Structure 1
Amino acid sequence: MSFLGSGRGRLLWELHRCCAPRPQLQGSYAACLRRYRAHHFSLDGVEDAAEQAVEQPPVSLAKSLASLTEESTEAVRRLRKPLTRMERKRLAELRIKKRVKAQYLNGKFYDLMSKVVANAETLEDAYDIVRLNSNVDLTSARDDDVCFATLAEQLRTGAFDVGVNAFMVAAKWHGGGRLVLPRLNLKVVQEAIRVVLEVVYRPQFSKISHGCRSGRGYHSALRFISNEIGVPDWAFTVPLHKEVDSNITSKLISLMQEKIEDTQLVAFMQIMFDAKVINLVFGGYPKGHGLPQEGVLAPILMNIYLDSFDHEVFRICLKHEGLGSEATNVSEEYGSNLRRWFRSQMKGRDENSEDQTDCQTKVKLYACRYMDEIFVAVSGSRDVAEDIKSEIVDYVSRSLYLEVNDKFHLLPVRRNSRGLQFAGVVFRVQTKENAKLKAVHKLKQKIGLFARQKQEIWDTMNLRIGKKWLAYGLRRIKESEIKSLGLSTPLLDHLAQFRKEGMKTDHWFKTLLKVWMQDVKAKNELNEDVLLSKYIAEPALAQDLRDAFDNFQKQAKDYISSETAATEALLSNLKSEESTSSCSDGGCIKIHAPLSHIQKCLHRYGLINLEGFPRHVSALVLQDDELIVSWFAGIINRWIRWFSEADNFKELQLMFVESVRKSCIRTLSAKYRMYEKLTEKRFELDDYGIPMVEDFETITEPLESSYSLGSTDEALMYGISSSGLFVLTLSRVRVPTRQFNCFVMGCQSASPSMYVIHVKEKQRFPGWRTGFSSSIHGSLDGRRIGLCTQHVKDLYLGHISLQSVDFGSLIR
């Protein structure tokens, strides 16, 4: 009997075959091992298992290699990190983009409504984007009311009713009007149209356009003004205010028809304008701030409409910079100016290398548009700046049919101490100082600080002497009344004769002090400390000691005043030299967060009182602990996201601790009626992003890095990155006959509680960035919404915005 014919030979041969990566044999190999162990290493059991494995049909080499590839792919898939929220949105938009690109022919896009928007796959991708905007897991259950095939058929046949898929909210306060908001089906269609319009118009947008775009958002607008403009001579903003009318609608549709050839899409857009579903208002409220009345289409339509203004700015720039306002015919000077302008527009070109001999008459125009906020800066004479201003206003009013407030003025940049407001912050010019000037300032400040410290020590010691004198006098009077001590003196005996009969010692002593204070006219002094040190302690000191201290303080004041005068003279000479001999600006533009307006909002929302001291927020006391802490952490997250690059961010850090952190501790202490120290030990606020001063950098660095990695891409985070915080209070409403799901679109979780929205901000345009929601429509004040705990936390932290809430769920 050969070796292969024996039981052990067959066993080894079968085990060798089982080691191949074939799924059909892996189960048999596992069964073989289990039976091998079960029979206590019995060879007969192993041979039986091998014989059973032989009975299975053989597997070809190709299938074995294919299964090996599948196993390796599955292993790589398990090791790969799960896609983030932003990556999933990019993938969904990329799939829609491929369908849009397929409809491009000869410079136009054709049949986008029937071939792209009215497509079940496109609508499904748009629904996924809506759910990702709502921070809903795509693997969770979907809404049963959404049928993509039926919705696509309705869009193709024109049976989709916009009015049925929208609801109207009436304002509760006078003059608020009515607000029309979309339901889920209409929201999905609008999201699909938004992505289509983004694909069509994103390549043609100008570089001066910022807001709700990839790579050109809020921070890029601030960097452009602070880093690239320099310090111009004049600046102004163009305040727009106009609601959409027939003129604006017709012009917007004509602009869309220049790139899109689709009558069905144009007709559907007109239907949404007529139904007031698209709430497009110029200058009415901040765009892209996550407010429900904005709508998902408002930012992209505004960028499309104002794109013609961006190109008009380049024409005005060419006229004043390249050709020159004084040029009337083609000449050699005319050509050199135009050539110089083209060279200055080239990237990487150093303008300092150009001829700067006529720097006093050189004109430079800068413009930056953040949605419907327009900032224009001019380097040149006032007359040229006024001409540019009039041309811009004339184009906006005549060509774009927008109303411009005539009360705005041309402001000087260098001599404007209040600064310039734009995009919710303030821009101020800070003069550059040379090294010698900084050294003078530093030495002057050190001497002034040293003199103030010595004065404080002098006053403190004199006050101690005065208090000791006061206590010593009272004690001596009390001891003089005890005759057995024999401590009476002629002076005390002389004062005792003025004491009224029956008057107690303390009262009598206070009467003597009152008479003495009237004699020295103490009402002219600030407080009793100055009285004790100035009229009691100092006269008792040695005369030479007082003269030496007064001489020191006089010399310090003389030095500080002389250095101040010399510094002012040096600054005036530098300014005169710069204005006469050079074109250097001698300064830079700094970004400042509006601290005064932020402090007003903190008081309006109840975090601080009138004196500026932190207090508890009563509206949050009934909510869960995690939601309370998340509400305060949301303020800090927004401040770090918006103002991390501001030059006064250090001052804002103090408000983190002095206002937000202490208010959070006092809110939790009011809820549990605990001491603040015990509350701070119980709740680890640092883990939630509410740090102390010494731990601020370690807590905020991960937040700043996450914001800088593209999580604030405004093209994908429509309204989320700029959404502000608001107040929600629990509404104890018991409805036993009906159970509500969460009102956030795409969420199928149950809503355990009802909440009430409270509108605190009714700012005029343009508004400040304060961390809180601004200009929420008045019809939403006091409206009840049902939310799950996770989405309440997301709203507080700024992961979603109010645009994701379906306010019409209660009236279904």
Structure 2
Amino acid sequence: MLAKDLAFLVEESSSLDDSRPKTRMEEKRSLELRIKKRVKEQYVNGKFQNLMARVIANPDTLQDAYNCIRLNSNVDMTNSADGICFKSIVDELHCGHFDFKANTFSVSTRGARKEVLVLPNLRTRIVQEAIRMVLEVVYKPHFSKISHGCRSGRGPSTALKYISKEISCPNWWFTMLLNKRVDACIINKLISILQDKIEDMQLYATIRSMFDANVLSFEFGGFPKGQGLPQEGVLSPVLMNIYLDLFDHEFYRLSMIYEALDPDFGDAGDKFHSKLRNWYRRQLKDKDLKYTDNDNSGPRVHCCRFMDEIFFAFSGSKDVALRFKAEIVNYLKSFLHLDVDDQIEILPCDEFHGIRFLGTLVQRSRQESPATRAVHKLKEKVKLFASQKQEAWNAGTVRIGKKWLAHGLRKVKESEIKHLVDGGSNLTKISSFRKTGMETDHWFKVLLKVWMEDIKTKEPESEKILLSRYVAEPALPQELMDSYYEFLKRADDYVSSETAATLALLSSSSLDTECVITEIVAPVNAIKKCLFRYGLITSDGYPRTSSLLILQDNSQIIDWFSGIFCRWIRWYRDFNNFNEVKLIISKVLRKSCIRTLAAKYRIHENEIEKRFDSELSRIPSTEEIEQELEHEMSDSNTFDTDEALMYGISYSGLCLLSLARIVSQSRPCNCFVLGCSAAAPSVYTLHVMERQKFPGWNTGFSSCIHPSLNRRRIGLCKKHLKDLYLGHISLQSIDFGVWK
């Protein structure tokens, strides 16, 4: 009976889950599972057979690929396929006469040279997306754990977390940036790699055809990967990961040689075998074993690869690190035919030598132990307690001094009243020196001046110090004075240096020594430069109006600024200098948004804050950011991302659009987003504000957009304009070829 009740409960919960509408990610995973089932059916004799004819050139697969493109574009999935005939695409692929059409954009540069950007049309994108999803199914289980970028669960955040938490006590580190435009030699080697797991000559012929038609054109080190830029494509990332998977396996071979098999670092007998056994155990575990300074087992090698940007950390001598680097460079050049800079500098892992990786700064810093922090906390408490007592003492003595002043002024005034005059007082005796007609206050100031000259005080000393030190304190009991100054002396002695007993206690415990940690630092200076380049701050760092956004609607202006906030919160929330980013959000970003709205309506900023109070809450102040962080972390859909399925969306930068014109009946326009047939109420101009050299700093703004897209006009509906600003879609979802 219990089993029946539990079964009924499971059925009831499943029916409730089915009634709930699926999220974008759940829809994409269901599409991937359907394609995965078709791919698995073609696994025969240790290889995948005829994937092009039986899986890719299949109307159902092409429909799923198009639905995946539409999900990336965040469009309504209930709409039709916009008149796309998948049967005709299948027929063209089967006969080998598919026309890989593309849209070409060019821009003139210095001299006669032109930069050309080739973007595939929608039919070509559908075929590329189908090939990408099939290759993901085949190669996803075989990718190395050091590989990050455009993979499920392995994005920029996981790469940086691995560096900061799993790599312990390295001595040296360096990065390698691969450079090479893909040519026929690399395509031939890529196909030879694919042949190890896939037996399909038609698929390889299709890849060559796309390469010859320039619709499959990617390069190593050409632009920041995973930024959702239109020139990145959807097929290039998986092909790059497949190609560099050879390097990942070569790294494991070299790490085994350097850590376990090199005779220079191991002894014969059991020690040698135990090192090799420990090395295999480390590879099987998810978390690498910690390496401490007391471990004398030889060098340790760590690697983290994000697409074509590679980070290395080495524990051991510099000579061995240089030898290891030379072998890596030789393999990349001679075997993978890639260009690598031979003059890569190996930097020591200390507080003075940070290294750039993934647009951030990786550096080492000292962290106090819990016992040391407790001692410093106690020291600060003693310092605070002593300062409070000193403030109370000063306030009391100043109050006594002020009463002395009031008493003296009253006596001077009483000396002017005849029946109150005391002939034997000192004040009466010196009153004879008072000039005729001198006012009472003036005469009292003269007396104070004579008194100050008598005690030989310094001019800069304030009135409160004079009253406290020369009036009140000499009148207090000597025992009270000695007790107070003895207390201050004891407190200063403790604050200036800890006692020998405390230092001995800390040094005697191995757990209480200072440790060095790896920090990931957001490029605050680069962020400020981008804010200046986008016109959000002045050269002095003060917030200013964004003139290019003024003509847009109020909600669109706030969405643009909120898009920067959402990206910074999502990217930098775990960074060590997030407090500096929060300061920029509250003092620069929010103020610039308010001033943009104020310039639009030509009213005071305070009135803007009152009128748009609820809308501006999306760009919170410093105190509200912590609450926003908790809300973001509790929202499961916000972080339900898959780097393989949502390529270029979760890490896409913000671009700048200005209003070009309002759409009229005489000049209609539809939305340029792939799969969207809604009417676009406005046409916008895309502004390419910067084109960083690879690698560039990660600032939250879209970097390295091809210059041929500068001032390109695009039509967007209100929904997709908001999605583009908030980072729900990227520039890859826009069909720039609608208007040539």
Q: Give your verdict on TM over 0.5.
A: yes
Task: Give the whole-Å Cα distance in 2 for the aligned partners of 1:533 and 1:718.
Answer: 67
Equivalent of 2:206 in 268, 287, 295: 268
Query: Residues of 1 paired with 2:581 and 2:352: CA distance?
Result: 20
Classify 1:399/1:706 alpha carbon distance in 2 versus 1 (closer, same or farther; 3 Å): farther
Task: Say which of 303, 307, 315 aligns to 1:379.
Answer: 315
The secondary structure found in structure 2 opposite 1:171 is: strand
Alpha-carbon spacing, 1:111–1:78, altered in 2? closer, same or farther (3 Å):
closer
- Of residues 668, 677, 683, the one that matches 2:606 is 677
Shift, 1:138, TM fit = 0.8
After alignment, is 300-309 or 560-569 more displaced? 560-569
Give distance in 2, aligned partners of 1:420 and 1:369.
Answer: 15
Cα offsets for 1:501-528 (capped at 9, x unmatched): xxxxxxxxxxxxxxxxxxxxxxxxxxxx
CA contact (8 A) 2:369 2:515 kept: no
Alpha-carbon distance between aligned partners in 2 of 1:630 and 1:546, rounded to the nearest angstrom: 63
Aligned residues: CA RMSD: 4.0
Looking at structure 2, the residues matched to 546 and 766 of structure 1 have their Cα atoms a distance apart, in angstroms, of 66
Matched, 1:107 2:107: no
Q: 197-206 vs 691-700, which deviates more?
A: 691-700
**Distance in structure 2 (CA, Å) of the matches to 1:430 and 1:305:** 36
Q: 1:439 aligns with which of 370, 374, 383?
A: 374
Find the residue that maps to 1:430 and give its secondary structure.
strand
Match of 1:606 in 2: 535
Contact 1:233–1:412 at 8 Å: present in 2 too?
yes
Match among 562, 567, 585 for residue 633 of structure 1:
562
Question: 1:90 is paired with a residue of what secondary structure?
Answer: helix
Conservation of the 8 A alpha-carbon contact between 2:662 and 2:681: no
Q: 1:726-764: per-residue Cα shift (whole Å, max 9, x none)?
A: 110011377875422111111101122111111122222
Change (3 A) 1:243 1:739: same
Residue of structure 1 equivalent to 2:27: 88
Question: Could you say if the C-alpha distance between residues 236 and 93 of structure 1 is closer, same or farther in structure 2, counting changes exceeding 3 Å?
Answer: same
Q: CA separation of 1:738/1:325 partners in 2, compared to 1, >3 Å: closer, same or farther? A: farther
Residue 124 and residue 309 in structure 1: after superposition, are their counterparts in 2 closer, same or farther (change >3 A)?
same
Q: 1:428 and 2:363 equivalent?
A: yes
In structure 2, how many angstroms separate the alpha carbons of the residues matched to 1:700 and 1:642? Answer: 12
Is the CA contact (8 Å cut-off) linking 2:394 and 2:468 kept in structure 1? no
Q: Deviations over 1:103-134 (max 9, x none)?
A: 11112112111211111111111111111110
Identity of aligned residues (%): 48
Structure 2 counterpart of 1:759 = 688
Q: Which residue of 2 aligns with 1:301?
A: 239
Structure 1 partner of 2:452: none
Indicate the residue corresponding to 1:563 in structure 2. 497
> For 1:619 and 1:230, how far apart are their aligned partners in 2?
47
For the residues of structure 2 that align with 1:610 and 1:457, how far apart are their CA atoms?
47
CA contact (8 A) 1:621 1:667 kept: yes
Aligned to 2:191: 253
Cα distance in 1 for residues equivalent to 2:197 and 2:288: 37
Return 684-693 or 646-655, whichever deviates more.
684-693
**Cα distance in 1 between the residues matched to 2:486 and 2:536:** 46
Distance 2:283 2:17 in 1: 50
SS of residue in 2 equivalent to 1:236: strand
Counterpart check, 1:319 vs 2:265: no
The one-letter code sitting in structure 1 at the alignment partner of 2:65 is A
Q: Give 1:120-159 correspondences, 5 Å limit.
A: 120-144=59-83, 146-159=84-97
Match of 2:330 among 390, 394, 397: 394
> CA separation in 1, counterparts of 2:281 and 2:203?
43
The Cα shift of 1:176 comes to 6.3
Letter in 2 for 1:690: I
Separation in 2 of the partners of 1:552 and 1:748? Answer: 83
3-state SS of the aligned residue for 1:207? coil
Distance 1:345 1:153 in 2: 47
Q: In 2, distance between residues paired with 1:81 and 1:194?
A: 29
Distance in 2 separating the partners of 1:455 and 1:793: 55
Contact residue 172 and residue 781 of structure 1 kept, 8 A: no
Distance 1:349 1:612 in 2: 43
Distance 2:223 2:513 in 1: 39
Contact 2:632 2:638 in 1 (8 A): no
C-alpha contact 1:169 1:180 (8 A) present in aligned 2: yes
Q: Is the contact made by 2:369 and 2:511 (CA closer than 8 Å) also made in structure 1?
A: no
> Partners in 1 of 2:637 and 2:189 — Cα distance?
37
Summarize the Cα distance change of 1:694–1:151 in structure 2 as closer, same or farther, 3 Å threshold.
same
Structure 2 CA distance, aligned partners of 1:556 and 1:671? 62
Deviation at 1:631, TM superposition (A): 0.7
Structure 2, gaps ≥5 residues long: 1-10, 403-435, 444-457, 475-480
Q: Name the CA distance, whole Å, in 2 between partners of 1:394 and 1:679.
A: 61
Partner residue in 1 for 2:571: 642
- Which residue is 1:417 aligned to? 352
TM-score (norm 2): 0.81
CA offsets, 1:245-283, max 9 Å, x none? Answer: 222222112111222211221111112222222231211
**C-alpha separation between the residues in 2 aligned to 1:332 and 1:185?**
62
More off after superposition, 666-675 vs 417-426: 417-426
Task: Find out whether 1:286 has 2:228 as its counterpart.
Answer: no
Residues in 2 aligned to 1:236 and 1:282: alpha-carbon distance in whole angstroms: 18
Q: Distance in 2 between matches of 1:357 and 1:365?
A: 15
Note if contact 1:361-1:381 (Cα within 8 Å) is conserved in structure 2.
Answer: no
Match of 1:807 among 708, 728, 736: 736
State the alpha-carbon separation in 1 of the partners of residues 263 and 203 from structure 2.
44
Cα distance in 2 for partners of 1:209, 1:334 equals 29
What is the alpha-carbon distance in structure 2 between the residues aligned to residue 807 and residue 739 of structure 1? Answer: 17
Deviations 1:321-353 (A, max 9, x none): 11124279985553343233234444389958x
Structure 1, gaps ≥5 residues long: 1-71, 466-484, 493-530
Q: Which structure has the larger Rg? A: 1
* Poorly superposed stretches of 4+, deviation over 6 Å: 327-330, 447-459, 535-541, 544-554, 564-571, 581-585, 733-736
Decide whether aligned partners of structure 1 residues 565 and 96 sit closer, same or farther in structure 2, where only a CA change above 3 A counts: same
Matched to 1:147, the amino acid is C
In structure 2, what residue type is equivalent to 1:430?
Answer: S
CA 1:109 to 1:686, structure 2 compared with 1: closer, same or farther past 3 Å? same
Moved more, 110-119 or 443-452: 443-452
Call closer, same or farther: CA 1:79–1:378 in 2, change over 3 Å: closer
1:306 Cα deviation after fit: 0.5
- Contact 1:359–1:583 (8 Å) recurs in 2: no
Cα distance in 2 for residues equivalent to 1:456 and 1:274: 84
Q: Measure how far apart 1:535 and its partner are.
A: 8.4
Distance, in Å, in 2 between the alignment partners of 1:260 and 1:348 is 29
> Which residue does the alignment assign to 1:29?
none
CA-CA distance at 1:551 after TM superposition? 8.2
Q: Distance in 2 between matches of 1:284 and 1:707?
A: 34
* Alpha-carbon distance change, 78 to 367 in structure 1, aligned in 2, over 3 angstroms: closer
Alpha-carbon separation, structure 2, partners of 1:810 and 1:177: 19
SS in 2 for 1:732: strand
- The letter for the 1-side match of 2:31 is A
The CA deviation at 1:367 is 0.9
For 1:656, the equivalent position in structure 2 comes to: 585
Counterpart amino acid of residue 650 in structure 1: N
Partner letter of residue 99 of structure 2? D
- In the TM superposition, what whole-angstrom CA distance separates every residue of 1:217-265 from its partner, at most 9, and x where no partner exists? 2222122112221221111111222211222222112111222211221
Residues 565-594 of structure 1, C-alpha deviations (whole Å, 9 max, x = no match): 9999999x96xx99xx99999322222222
Equivalent position to 2:706, from 742, 755, 777: 777
| 1:747 aligned partner | 676
1:234 match: 172
Secondary structure of the residue aligned to 2:231 is coil
> Please, what TM-score do these two structures have when normalized by structure 1?
0.74
